Every structure is written in C-alpha cells, then in structure tokens.
Amino acid sequence: MQKKTIHSIGILTAGGDSPGLNAAIRGIGKTAVGHYGMQVIGFHDGFRGLMENRTIRLTSANLSGILTIGGTLLGTSRDKPHKMPVGGKTLDMTDAMVDTYVRHQLDALVCIGGGGTQKNALRLKEKGLNVITLPKTIDNDVSGTDVTFGFDTALGIATEAIDRLHSTAHSHHRIIVVEVMGHNAGWLALGSGIAGGANVILIPEIPYDINNIAESIKQRSRAGKNFSIVVIAEGAKSKEYAQDLEALEIAKQGVEDKDERKEIKAKIKALEEKHANNTLQLSKELERLTGLESRVTILGYLQRGGTPSAVDRLLATRLGSAAAHYIHQGVYGIMIAARGDGIEPMPLESIVGRRKTVPFDHPWVETARHVGISLG
C-alpha cells in the first residue's frame, strides 16, 4: 500500500479498565505527535464517545505525567457499535461513528481493548474505516498475542493478596478460598496460585470434582499441615455444572422451534445464575467435607486498579508506539500483538471470535501438578 502523510488519528479505550491503558495512550500519542508530526484526538468513554463525538485533543502537554496512572484518561464503556442503548432503545449506531470519523477527517482510529473491542473494531473496518487495535485485559485471553497488557499488574496484585492471606490461614487453621477474575480463561488464577503457593487452583478450562479437592486438603491435614489456600477463577466450574451446561448448549443447537429454543435459553440462564455464587457454595461445601473452618476473599476490581507494573508500562508503550508506526506506514485492519521482545501485526479477522485459554498441557499446568498443587 502506498504511503501517505497522516494528518489526524483518533484513539479510544473500550471494555473494562486495565492497568497500562494510559501508558498505551501515551505511547501512541507521543510517537504520533513527536516522531511523525500527526494530530491526535481521543474519544471519551469508548465507542459511545465516538458515536456522540465527545473528544479531547491529545498533545505532548496532556500526555505528560500519565504513564504511572491507572485507569484511562479517556474513560471507557462496554457499549457496542451495533447494539447501543440510545433513548431507551438498542440501536445500531455504526453509521453515526463513521460520520464522526469522517467529520474529523481521521486517517486512522486506534481501539484499545480486549476480545470484544477487537470484534467491534472489525465491524468498523468492514464499514471502511482504517482501524488498528491494541490488546489489553487482565484476563490475558486475547488470541494472537503472547500477552496482553494489564495482566502482569493484576498477576502481581493477586499474588500479593495470596501472600498476605497465608498468615491468616496458618494462624487460624483455616481453608482460605481466594476468588480472582477470569470468566473464561484461568491465566490469572493459575499464575497467581503458583506464584503465591496455593494448594488448590481451580480454573475454567479444567472442571473440578469437589471430593478431589476435599481429599487433597484432608491429606494435608493428616500430614500435619493445618491450613490450605484455594485459588479459584470466577469462571471455574464443577464437573456436574460443566456437563449440564454442555448438554443444554448441544440441545439448543439441534432445535429449530423458536419457543423450544427460548425455553432452553431460559434453562441456561437459570443455571448460570445459580452458578454466580459458586465460590461461596464451594467454601461451605469444603467446610462440610473437611471439618475445617473456611473463609472467602473475593479480590474483584482490586485486580484492575492502581499503578501499572513496569512490565505493563513497557509493553503498553511498545505496542502503542508500534501502532503509530504502522499508521504511518499505511497498514490497517490489524491488532498489534506482542511476540517475545518484538511485535507482530495480526489481521483482525484472525483474532475475532477466538479466545486464548489455558491448554491442558501448558507448562504452567504441568508445573502446578509437579509441585503437588491440586487442580480439582
């Protein structure tokens, strides 16, 4: 593709907040403005700000001092271009976003976010916009990249929390159940559990048997170890739940009748709602099966907050700077992926609809088993 002078680019951050977002914005902006002489504007609150044309001019002055700050100076939201709540209705506002892009005479739009953001960016690409994305999420589940920024910071926070809970577990002879984020991928639970010396780690990819967990805890008790740390991803599921959910999903695929499909969807929703309190239910059941007192700590949004780690700042800055470079080269429709110490442009079509989950034979899984950690 022939190179051309880039006059103006836009940036937005979408989905959940994540450590390193400001570092990425800064990396894009300082490279675009200082190195390539571009003009940069930011859109407030993700795709909604793009739709509503709410902008801020990003200059060297207002990019200064944001590297170490958590969150995002642009704000974020989970709004989708094609399903956006507007005036009490859910509307496709993609064309309004295209109009904003054209109004500002943008040469490219950088969308920073997780898997959902990659999908939404592809929709804008299909509408003719020049789009580049960056992968961020503490879950580390974006396909096509070695790692996402935000993950390292969350990993450190979760590990520190587990470290601190060890003393309470040991002092009171308790089971401490620690819930970390991760609906569909267990990277955060697995990594922090190994680093924090957990005795049991439960992740979405490996359905668990609670009797196996209880037995591993009782074995510790018989060996004179009067406490246990259980790290569980919020999306971890029992074998029974996983089987019931899979059966309903398979049944739904084979049904064409709308009423029958609606009924199956209602059953799936009810099953998922029951599973929402899974960690608390697990704790109570472990208490009953082992005879040991059990307590739950849910880390929640703590994992997203605060100052990004040096690793995340470096990664976000590298990816952001690379985005400005590819825009200058006239290369669009890509996600900037981390590859070792380098980067690789990945076509959005190869990313969307895929999720990077923990493989059963991943080295972290093997390590956990080798050091005696129960995976349920």
Please list the active-site residues: 139
Residue 347, CB half-sphere, CA atoms under 13 Å: how many? Answer: 3
In angstroms, rounded to a whole number, what is the distance separating the alpha carbons of residues 169 and 126? Answer: 53
* Whether the Cβ atoms of residue 327 and residue 107 lie closer than 8 Å to each other: yes
* Residue 119: both structure tokens together: 């999908």
Q: Which of 228, 268, 274 is nearest to 251 (CA)?
A: 268
**Please, which residues have CB within 8 angstroms of residue 148's CB and are 6 or more apart in sequence?**
114, 135, 136, 137, 138, 139, 140, 141, 142, 338
* Residue 273: both structure tokens together: 């709602």
* Whether the Cβ atoms of residue 141 and residue 115 lie closer than 8 Å to each other: yes
* Residue 104: both structure tokens together: 């500002």
Parallel, antiparallel, or unpaired for β 39-43 and 55-58? antiparallel
Q: Which of 16, 87, 82 is nearest to 45 (CA)?
A: 16
Residue 21 exposed, middle or buried by CB count within 10 Å (0-12, 13-18, 19+): buried
Residue 286 exposed, middle or buried by CB count within 10 Å (0-12, 13-18, 19+): buried
In angstroms, rounded to a whole number, what is the distance separating the alpha carbons of residues 16 and 5? Answer: 33
Q: What is the DSSP letter of 80?
A: B
* Whether the Cβ atoms of residue 373 and residue 206 lie closer than 8 Å to each other: no
In degrees rounded to 5, what are phi and psi of residue 84? -110, 125
